[in-house]
Amino acid sequence: MADIVGAHIWAAGQLVDVDPELAFRHAEAARRRAGRLPIVREAAAETAYAAGEYAVALREFRAIRRMTGGDELLPVIADCERALGRPRDALEVLAELDESTKDVNLRIECLLVEAGIRRDLGQEAEAYRLLKAAISRKIGSPLAQARLRYALANMLELDGDTAGAREWFTSAASMDPGGVLDLSDRIAALDGVVLPDFTPDEEDEDDDAEDDEDWDDVEVEWGDRDDDSDDDDPNDSDDDDDEGDSDEDDDSDDDDSDEDDDAAEDDSDEDDSEEDDDSEDDEDRLRDSDDEETDGSVPAEADQIDPDGEGDDK
């Protein structure tokens, strides 16, 4: 539950200046779940005030003041009453401010709201008096003085005094170097100049889109180069020729080897044939020798031998 409430509060804070209505819905979702927490009621009140839901904002601001005490919320409570068309009730709220308070900025906030209420009631002179008196005393911070001058210039513009309005807008701009207030736009509007609306997020998106397009062009260019290199690379044809030559050499080597083997086999067959012939000749000679022995012919020396051994005695 705590994570859900925290997420709604975070979203409300992120969206309050961008989409106040959506921020208010997030704050309301958090309030329904944890309405007793002051931070949740404060988020609901501020987003309701920004979204123009003044009745809800008034209810929430009053609830917060009851829980926390103090007079810090009196200006916004009175302004909600004024926005709801109850200026007398708004003046009564401002009357609750402690007279002994030393918070100058709080007093200036109450004075700004009272000046608006006085003008709504048709008391323009009193409204001008309040603002000019605070400006002349130079009370508050530079930004507070810029806001007093802004309020005076806005009243003068509403009353048709554009020259006076421009003078006080310019004076307020000198005290707001940080550009918190929209003084440049107000002065430009009085001068009839329309300033271009620069949105940082849109500029960043355009820059990112341009960068992406540049990278796409680079990738396409390199892709084309790769394709061309594949088609036109002379090394590929050389490699193919080398492979063809190598295959031919291998085939010729195989043919030579086969011829050598055939020649060796022929030589071996001839040798075997010659050996067979020699062997047949030897066998023929042996047969002839055996035939001669079996013919009965006796050599001459055999006649001189006595078979009985008597010849030796003679």
Q: CA-to-CA distance for 215 and 218, rounded, in angstroms?
A: 5
- Pick from 80, 89, 135: nearest CA to 108: 135
* Cα→Cα distances 2→8, 33, 34, 40, Å: 10, 9, 9, 12
Give the pLDDT means over successive 10-residue stretches in the chain (314 positions).
Answer: 91 93 94 89 95 96 89 95 96 92 92 95 95 92 94 95 95 92 92 71 56 52 50 49 50 50 49 50 51 44 39 41
Quote the crossing angle between the two packed helices 38-50 and 2-15, to the nearest 10°.
30
The DSSP 8-state label assigned to residue 73 in this structure reads: T
Query: What pLDDT sits at residue 201?
Result: 55
Query: What pLDDT sits at residue 176?
Result: 93
DSSP codes, 191-258: HT-------HHHHHHHHHHHHHHHHHHHHHHHHHHHHHHHHH-HHHHHHHHHHHHHHHHHHHHHHHHH
- The answer to whether 61 touches 80, Cβ cutoff 8 Å, is yes
pTM for the structure as a whole: 0.61
Query: What pLDDT sits at residue 310?
Result: 41
Q: CA-to-CA distance for 156 and 133, rounded, in angstroms?
A: 16
By CB atoms closer than 10 A (0-12, 13-18, 19+), residue 3 is: exposed
Query: What pLDDT sits at residue 305?
Result: 34
Query: What pLDDT sits at residue 101?
Result: 85
Query: What pLDDT sits at residue 43?
Result: 94
Residue 30, H or E segment: helix 20-33
Query: What pLDDT sits at residue 264?
Result: 47
Q: Which amino acid is at 314?
A: K
Q: CA-to-CA distance for 18 and 293, rounded, in angstroms?
A: 140
Query: What pLDDT sits at residue 285?
Result: 53
Q: CA-to-CA distance for 21 and 17, rounded, in angstroms?
A: 10
Tokens encoding 185? 């736009």
